[in-house]
Chains A and B, each alone.
Chain A
Amino acid sequence: MQHTQSSSIPTSGTVTARAPTGTWLIRLPLNGSLLVDKRALFAASLLTLLLLISIVISLCLGATNYSPAEVLDALFGESNPMTAFILNELRLPRVIAGILSGAGFALAGCLMQTLARNRLATPGIIGIDNGATAFAIASVVGLVTSLAPPEMALIGAATATALAFGLAGGAGTRGYRFIIAGIGIGALFGAFTQLMLARAHIDVANQAYPWTVGSLNARPENAVLILAVGLAIGLVGALFLARALKILRFSEPVARGLGVRVNACRYTSLVLAVALTAMAVAVAGPVGLVGLIGPEIARHLSSTRSVPFISSALAGALVMVLADTVGRMMLMPLEVPVGIVTAIVGGPYLLWILLVSPRNTP
């Protein structure tokens, strides 16, 4: 994705671009080159493999269990109509929604962490989820406007972010003040959500309920489509920003000195993160901890050389699909919302980060 640094330094006579250790240099036509990090590639492949396995597992398990062979038959070949219907019409859309929303949350989390230079600054923790949820519910219960819930979720996410950044004193904020402001804002939006649910008619409140817990059960058709498109744009955008963001992890003057347009880069990635969060919330509700866990897994697997956007998205999708499968299977006739599963897994992990590991930033 990025040019080698050695190629930008003029050496005597010929430009000898040598790949840094641990990377492959792929020459492209038109004098271009692509530096592929071996470890990042390894991480992405491993995560892709795990994701594929977890998808098959998720499709296999349910009220009726199928063998992996049956699943593959139904997906790619012929099988009896009943099996095909259950797998293709019922389970597959759910898994796809899980993959997309998990990837969206994790990518947004990774962007946010890099931007705020704090691995705890994920959308879920700083209240963006809650903002999106509150606004989406305002739309469901018919308050204020006639905008559809996904659009309102976007507005809510943007509002919450603006508040968090505004109250913490600017986009350059490093550290925890920003996060606490976010926690306060999240609590506030949570309270508003409760308020609207309390005011709403019981039918409307039931309709709005899936928004509040985080579940893949009620996924609006068009929201999934929007998320798919948004995720594609977000991934491409993140990869374009990757080099600048990588440098931005150093201090701001260093980044400026290396020719990064700091503010433009910050605001672009902030907009991407907010939009991705909002679109993912529109599909799955507030499952914010995926935005923390996904990038963490990715960071453990990949090298620290670059910002692991692709691996984060893959890991987020993996976590989401697995958590949803566990939630479906845990108490079989009942379905545990995926938000509860991720909170039970992610809460201790967050504590562990806070208490045990030394203070470090991505």
Chain B
Amino acid sequence: MSKTHMTPLGSRRLMLIMVAAVILLGLACFLSLLVGAGSVTPADAFAVLLGQGTTEAQFVVGELRLPRTLVAVVVGAALAVSGALLQAVTRNPLAEPGLLGVSAGSAFAVALAIALGASAATLKISVAQFGALAGCLCALGAARLRGVGDDPVRLVLAGAALSSLLIALTSLLLLIDLGTADEIRFWIVGSVAGRNLSDLIDTIPSLLIAGVVTVLIARPLAALALGERVAVGLGHRPGLVRLLAILAVALLVGSATAVAGPIAFVGLVVPFAARALAGPDIRRTLWLCLPLGPLVVVVADILSRLVVQPSELPLGVLTAMIGAPVLVAVVRARRLPTL
């Protein structure tokens, strides 16, 4: 009994939930390959998966649907984990990269870099990560300032103000520079469709680094949840842990934004669900975020293809539709849970 409590994944219930989530994710990915807005029917797509099918169907499944499914999986996992980390660091259940302006900072940095003459292809990822880091620091600076740190809701308001400012600046840039506008018009919306696999491959190093950092700081973060003094007593260094966590968040959000554009609410919804399923331990939440994040994004992406056939809906719209009610639900809870 005591042994099962030693490891974060020890409990049987969590194991079951993990297995179920992974199976669901597999099904969702399969479905994502099968259905779409075009003329390729699920039966055609299934034939392609079995190694047959028309060339058109092969192209659609292999070149369009497979990349976007992969992108959705990676982006979902990155955003969900970054949300969980940010919430643990700020001890605030509403801290979400989109809501706090981290994604907006990342998008603005990319728009600025392109407007200043950088090519979209080469710089995007590092610039997006830098912007995300700046956004993170702004949000956390706000959290440290008087009063806001204790109050989840004020932090979100500050984030909303920051992102509305950044969004306005971004649209101003796009207005000034029509070339930039054309280059990033499709990127700025936030979608996993039509993204390059090469972009995704470029983000792998950063994602790996972020993953390693996350694994390293998971245990100290769990200790931090018990309070600063307890964490120090257990031999951790809270300042360093926070800094590493912010770096990981910036890498994750920057990569996700560079590939798919700004997508809001995933980092709120998924950790919220994960906590509800697995309890407040950050290590369990992080593990559960790995299959749940991709699950949410892949399902949202499938829906975005089906809702307004024959056209498609921006993914950000669907995540907002899922996320806004969750936000309201979190706030409506009688006592805001503190992390």
Which residues does A use to contact B, with CB under 8 Å? 120, 125, 167-169, 176-177, 179-181, 183-185, 187-188, 190-192, 194-195, 198-199, 213, 289, 331, 334, 336, 339-340, 343-344, 347-348, 350-351, 354-356, 358-359
Contacts and interface: CB of A to CB of B under 8 A. Distances in A.
A343 B308 contact: no
A-B residue pairs, 8 tightest by C-beta = A347-B165, A343-B168, A176-B153, A191-B320, A350-B161, A184-B327, A188-B324, A184-B324
Contact of B161 (A167, A351, A356, A358): A351
Given A187-B327, A191-B321, A350-B161, A336 B313 contact: no
A175 to B, nearest CB: 8
25 contacts: A167-B332, A176-B151, A176-B157, A177-B153, A180-B94, A180-B157, A180-B328, A183-B157, A187-B264, A191-B317, A195-B308, A198-B311, A198-B313, A199-B311, A340-B168, A340-B171, A340-B172, A343-B168, A347-B165, A347-B168, A348-B165, A350-B164, A351-B165, A355-B145, A355-B148
B164 A347 contact: yes
Contacts of B160: 125, 183
B153 A181 contact: no
Contacts of B154: 176, 354
Interface string B248-266: 0000000000000000110
Contacts of A355: 142, 145-146, 148, 158
A131 to B, nearest CB: 12
A295 to B, nearest CB: 16
Nearest to A124: B164
Contacts of A348: 161, 165
Contacts of B31: none
Contacts of B146: 355
Contact of A187 (B162, B307, B323): B323
Interface residues of B, number: 45
A351 B313 CA distance: 32
Given A344-B165, A344-B169, A347-B168, A331 B314 contact: no
Contacts of A336: 172, 175
B165 A167 contact: no
A251 B1 CA distance: 54
A327 B321 CA distance: 32
Given A190-B320, A331-B176, A351-B161, A183 B311 contact: no
A183 B156 contact: yes
Contacts of B328: 167, 180-181, 184-185
Contacts of B51: none
B257 to A, nearest CB: 18
Contacts of B332: 167-169, 177, 181
Interface in B108-136: none
Nearest to B170: A340
A167 B327 CA distance: 11
Given A183-B160, A350-B161, A354-B161, A359 B327 contact: no
B235 interface: no
A180 B161 contact: no
Nearest to B145: A355
B97 to A, nearest CB: 14
A279 B235 CA distance: 60
A181 B176 contact: no
A177 to B, nearest CB: 5
Contacts of A198: 308, 311-314, 317
B148 A354 contact: yes
A198 B191 CA distance: 13
B34 to A, nearest CB: 23
